[in-house]
Chains A and B, each alone.
Chain A
Amino acid sequence: MSAHYDAWQEGDFIVNVSEPKPLPVPPDFPVVWDLPEDQMLFWEIDGVHAAGPTPLLVQYFANFLSNGFVQAAKDYQMPVSWKKKFIHHYEYTAMLPSVPLEQMEAQTMRALDEFGAAMPTLKQDWEQKYLPEIQDCLAFWESFNLAEAKMPALLDHFEATLKRYERLWHIHFLIVFPMYVSMSQFDELYQDLFGEENALDAYKLLQGFDNKTLESDRALWTLSQQALKNATLKTLIEIHQPTQLMAALKQQPEALAFLNDFNGFLDQYGQRANMWGLNEVSWIEDPAPPLQTLKEYVLEPPVDPTLEMRRLAQQRDEAIAKAQAKLQGYPQPVQDEFNALLAIAQSASVLSEDHGFWIDFRCNYKVRCVIMELARRFAEAGVIETPQNIFHLSLEQIRQTAQRGPVSGKPLEQAEKALFETCAAMTPPPALGSLPPGPPPQDPISRTFAKFFGVPVNQEPPTPEAKSILGHPGSAGTVRGPARVILSLQDAHKLKEGDILVTPTTAPPWTPLFATAAAVVTDAGGVLCHCAVVAREYGIPAVVGTRHATAIFKDGQLLEVNGNTGRVDIV
């Protein structure tokens, strides 16, 4: 969605063009444009959320998500909307104006009015309107007995699930638009009032509040403390691979209470998968990732997260008092605006994690359960080879199979799965289509998107021999440590206490690693992205949106991460 900003990035460096300029198409990634106007748009891979190619069924569900974006953008009269396109199974997004260019400014003002009206009640609307609706959806899924439902009932349930899924993403964007705009506006108000010397000062005033991500991580830490108190348990965890740990715990009578508590943890927080996407396996289904973190926590116990939160809260209160004292001589409307926006942005920064806990993970998990019940039956009937392969079917194939039963003798997903695997071997270019002309849009809404997705910062593409790299300041502080490049959570065990976590992006389930890492460096994102938000709550330095960190840094290289300036050096 940083489309307009990335217009200044051709390949890797920033350029400015006077008219739409077609981007080169790699020979091994041919593109056929169904609509000629689509070729004029700037299509980009969303590095914050994307992880490889998207299976066919997940593409359908992504369209429901997209509809939610478009609908909420309309509701808030936003001057921009987006389009999604899957090219060789890779998801590309283009931002496009929703009104003629000469009306953009007036439309932006209207949208800001809409956001201004929505922001003061954001927290209240979440608690009293949206969360109850989300919980109603969860109750709907909870009350349906998937295993025992007859196929027609299960198919009806599946269709009802799709409707709810679409509505949930509408809610998602109704929340996140004013949420991120309020954080961005607070950031800008703070910089206007107190200067731009330290890009992250404003965010100090928002830190130290509890949220669902921290709560989940703290629950895991509490479990590790419990394990440390029992020598048998401790040894069990230390000597077993996370994948075998569950079985080992079940055989040890002394571990019974702990096992109960761990299952309680999974009930509460195990709906997370390692990344976004319905094809991602949840922790409930495979608890190896939290067990891996648990093991790390037992081997090298991190500090009590509650103390860290208290420290951050104290820093926050001091920073607020200091800011308010500086504003004493300012007109009351300025002070009022500051205080009102501060309160909204504080709730927003909590919501920026909590909405994901409820919608992106809890609801997604329930939808996945519905899909996986169909998958189980299809696999049993020989329609597909394995349950997980259901993600290579289309919605129509699922409907038809559910209605009429298996039609052909051979597994339905074979051709699509083969295609998917071919695509997985391809390297998608970061952008396709055309560079849009003109200077980057300078309005508060575009700036908000830019702060979430990150604008390119490197003037020239770094060479493989580069000794330093620039990104966005994500979380304050400077620290040195060995680089640890982690491309997926499966490699999490490589990360040791004091390492610099270097990664393409982080989803919420990655955050327990933040207790182990000395700092985090990402390829994607900006100061408002999830990774930066949580790094601030862990009080570790973060540089985000470097675009190239995972390509340039090698395991074990000693890095200095400066979260204030957004610079990472090899020392």
Chain B
Amino acid sequence: MKILWLKDSLCSKQALTGGKAANLSLLAKNYPIPPGFCITTAAFEAAQTAGLDLDHLSLTRDDFPQDLYDQIAGAYQKLDETCGTNPLRVAVRSSAADEDGDQASFAGQHETYLNVLGIEALAVSILRCWASAFSEQAMAYRRSQGYQMERIHIGVLVQQMVPADVSLVLFSANPLNHNPNQMVINASWGLGESVVSGSVTPDVYVLDKSSRLDKSSTTILEKTISHKTEMTIQTDQGTQSVKVPRMLQQRACLDDDQVKQVAELGKALETEMGWPVDIECAFYSNQLYLLQCRPITTLGKKGILS
């Protein structure tokens, strides 16, 4: 199986698609996740067997076995038809079989390419995702976390691009004071890169989730509107970091209803997964999209909180 689509039952097998893609696939039926497919760890292995040399990439289709390239092109075409947006822009993320576990998040260790347009650019992004798993930085991280170094299983997730108006990270348990009854949301303008990479001080919301499940019950305990000076925007091909206009720098990028909507998503995912979650999501045209869901690793073993 070289290509698996989100929602396919096989796609939620972590060994085949990596932690990121597997988690999303599992959730794709019931949660607002952008459609997409995964180039499996098996496809990566087959490519290596067929002679893929990550140290000497030409960054063209010639790096791929012919049949894999055709399948990727076919899947991209099909995703284009599904989305009906012409031209189709995608987000390409590496999804390692041992990442997004409860021990280590691998957050930021593997590459993500946003706003990728066209099959040629997609092919290059996939090659770079593969190569990033072997970067010095990623290898050092693996070594430090005690992961195996010999065989690295890496999948690549390709999803319809969400041109985020606001990007957010939610922790369904407070990672600072370890309070399981509190959730924390970080939010900032534009694509997720500036929130995830920490280049911007985001707006921070601390929420009380101890109350009942009905929507009105989420209470905002703290709201800190920060001075958000940078944001990541889409360019013709790729992304760019730009200055946030002064007028919007100190404006809250979420309204209270949106905060509660995100909180409900966090609560539901924690219940669904059975562990406190660390999620990335985005608002685009007032729609909330889930982009990533993984356990909160800094809290320790999942048993501790429950």
Check B166 against A185 for contact (C-beta < 8 Å).
no
Q: Is B253 an interface residue (CB 8 A)?
A: yes
Q: Which residues of A contact B189 (CB under 8 A)?
A: 331, 333-334
Check A331 against B231 for contact (C-beta < 8 Å).
yes
Check B253 against A185 for contact (C-beta < 8 Å).
no
Q: Is A192 an interface residue (CB 8 A)?
A: yes
Check B247 against A337 for contact (C-beta < 8 Å).
yes
Q: Which residues of B contact A128 (CB under 8 A)?
A: none
Q: Is A464 an interface residue (CB 8 A)?
A: no
Q: Determine how close the nearest CB of chain B comes to the CB of A348; give it in whole angstroms.
A: 16
Interface of A is mostly: helix
Q: Determine how close the nearest CB of chain A comes to the CB of B196; give it in whole angstroms.
A: 16
Check B243 against A192 for contact (C-beta < 8 Å).
yes
Q: Determine how close the nearest CB of chain A comes to the CB of B18; give it in whole angstroms.
A: 28
Question: Nearest residue in B to A195 (C-beta to C-beta)?
Answer: B243
Contact of A334 among B115, B235, B248, B285 (CB under 8 A): B248
Check B285 against A333 for contact (C-beta < 8 Å).
no
Q: Is A330 an interface residue (CB 8 A)?
A: yes
Interface hits, A314-364 → B, CB 8 Å = 328-334, 337
Contact of A185 among B164, B240, B247 (CB under 8 A): B247
Q: Is B246 an interface residue (CB 8 A)?
A: yes
Complex-state Cα separation, A192 to B233, whole angstroms: 14
Q: Is A189 an interface residue (CB 8 A)?
A: yes
Q: Which residues of B contact A333 (CB under 8 A)?
A: 165-166, 189, 248, 253
Q: Is B74 an interface residue (CB 8 A)?
A: no
What number of A residues sit within 8 Å (CB to CB) of B? 14
Check B253 against A192 for contact (C-beta < 8 Å).
no
Q: Which residues of B contact A149 (CB under 8 A)?
A: none
Q: Is A188 an interface residue (CB 8 A)?
A: yes
| Contact bitstring A228-262, B, C-beta under 8 A = 1, else 0 | 00000000000000000000000000000000000
Q: Which residues of A contact B235 (CB under 8 A)?
A: 329
Q: Determine how close the nearest CB of chain B comes to the CB of A8; give it in whole angstroms.
A: 22
Q: Is A193 an interface residue (CB 8 A)?
A: yes
Q: Is B163 an interface residue (CB 8 A)?
A: yes
Q: Which residues of A contact B164 (CB under 8 A)?
A: 331
Check A331 against B165 for contact (C-beta < 8 Å).
yes
Q: Is B266 an interface residue (CB 8 A)?
A: no
Contact of A328 among B234, B244, B285 (CB under 8 A): B234
Question: Nearest residue in A to B284 (C-beta to C-beta)?
Answer: A332
Q: Which residues of B contact A337 (CB under 8 A)?
A: 245, 247-248
| Contact bitstring A516-538, B, C-beta under 8 A = 1, else 0 | 00000000000000000000000
Check B247 against A188 for contact (C-beta < 8 Å).
yes
Complex-state Cα separation, A415 to B246, whole angstroms: 56
Q: Determine how close the nearest CB of chain A comes to the CB of B213; give it in whole angstroms.
A: 30
Q: Which residues of B contact A185 (CB under 8 A)?
A: 247
Question: Nearest residue in B to A333 (C-beta to C-beta)?
Answer: B165
Complex-state Cα separation, A425 to B233, whole angstroms: 62
Contact of A192 among B163, B166, B245 (CB under 8 A): B245
| Contact bitstring A425-457, B, C-beta under 8 A = 1, else 0 | 000000000000000000010000000000000
Interface hits, B135-176 → A, CB 8 Å = 163-166
Question: Nearest residue in B to A330 (C-beta to C-beta)?
Answer: B233
Complex-state Cα separation, A482 to B233, whole angstroms: 49
Most B CB contacts (10 A, CB to CB) among A193, A334, A337 go to: A334
Interface hits, B242-290 → A, CB 8 Å = 243-248, 253, 284-285
Most B CB contacts (10 A, CB to CB) among A185, A329, A331, A332 go to: A331
Contact of B190 among A188, A189, A331, A444 (CB under 8 A): A331
Check A332 against B165 for contact (C-beta < 8 Å).
yes
Complex-state Cα separation, A330 to B239, whole angstroms: 10
Q: Which residues of B contact A188 (CB under 8 A)?
A: 245-247
Q: Which residues of B contact A192 (CB under 8 A)?
A: 243-247
Check B233 against A329 for contact (C-beta < 8 Å).
yes
Complex-state Cα separation, A151 to B59, whole angstroms: 95
Interface hits, B180-211 → A, CB 8 Å = 189-190
Question: Nearest residue in A to B239 (C-beta to C-beta)?
Answer: A329
| Contact bitstring A168-186, B, C-beta under 8 A = 1, else 0 | 0000000000000000010
Most B CB contacts (10 A, CB to CB) among A188, A328, A330, A444 go to: A330
Complex-state Cα separation, A79 to B256, whole angstroms: 29
Q: Which residues of B contact A329 (CB under 8 A)?
A: 115, 163, 233-236, 240
| Contact bitstring B75-110, A, C-beta under 8 A = 1, else 0 | 000000000000000000000000000000000000
Q: Determine how close the nearest CB of chain B comes to the CB of A173; give it in whole angstroms.
A: 23
Complex-state Cα separation, A334 to B284, whole angstroms: 12
Complex-state Cα separation, A334 to B164, whole angstroms: 12
Q: Which residues of A contact B234 (CB under 8 A)?
A: 328-330
Question: Nearest residue in A to B247 (C-beta to C-beta)?
Answer: A189
Complex-state Cα separation, A332 to B163, whole angstroms: 9
Instruction: Using A331-B231, A333-B189, A334-B189 as known contacts, say yes or no to A193 and B165 having CB atoms under 8 A apart.
Output: no
Q: Determine how close the nearest CB of chain B comes to the CB of A114; give it in whole angstroms.
A: 15
| Contact bitstring B209-246, A, C-beta under 8 A = 1, else 0 | 00000000000000000000001011110001001111
Q: Which residues of B contact A330 (CB under 8 A)?
A: 190, 233-234
Complex-state Cα separation, A188 to B247, whole angstroms: 8
Q: Determine how close the nearest CB of chain A comes to the CB of B52; give it in whole angstroms.
A: 33
Q: Determine how close the nearest CB of chain A comes to the CB of B161; give it in whole angstroms.
A: 11
Interface hits, A279-298 → B, CB 8 Å = none
Question: Nearest residue in A to B243 (C-beta to C-beta)?
Answer: A192
Q: Which residues of A contact B165 (CB under 8 A)?
A: 331-333
Complex-state Cα separation, A330 to B243, whole angstroms: 11
Complex-state Cα separation, A189 to B243, whole angstroms: 11
Question: Nearest residue in B to A109 (C-beta to C-beta)?
Answer: B250
Interface hits, A37-61 → B, CB 8 Å = none
Q: Determine how close the nearest CB of chain B comes to the CB of A117; give it in whole angstroms.
A: 14
Contact of B245 among A193, A328, A332 (CB under 8 A): A193
Question: Nearest residue in B to A328 (C-beta to C-beta)?
Answer: B234
Most B CB contacts (10 A, CB to CB) among A192, A329, A334, A337 go to: A329
Q: Which residues of B contact A193 (CB under 8 A)?
A: 245
Complex-state Cα separation, A331 to B190, whole angstroms: 5
If A188-B247, A331-B189, A334-B248 are given as contacts, then 13 extra A-B residue pairs at C-beta distance below 8 Å, sorted by A number, are A192-B245, A329-B163, A329-B234, A330-B234, A331-B233, A332-B165, A332-B284, A332-B285, A333-B165, A333-B166, A333-B253, A337-B245, A337-B248
23 contacts between A and B (CB under 8 A): A185-B247, A188-B245, A189-B246, A192-B243, A192-B246, A329-B233, A329-B234, A329-B236, A330-B190, A330-B233, A331-B165, A331-B166, A331-B231, A332-B284, A332-B285, A333-B166, A333-B189, A333-B253, A334-B189, A334-B245, A337-B247, A337-B248, A444-B246
What 9 A-B pairs have minimum CB-CB distances, sorted nearest first?
A: A329-B234, A192-B245, A331-B165, A332-B165, A329-B233, A331-B190, A189-B245, A330-B233, A331-B189
Q: Which residues of B contact A (CB under 8 A)?
A: 115, 163-166, 189-190, 231, 233-236, 240, 243-248, 253, 284-285
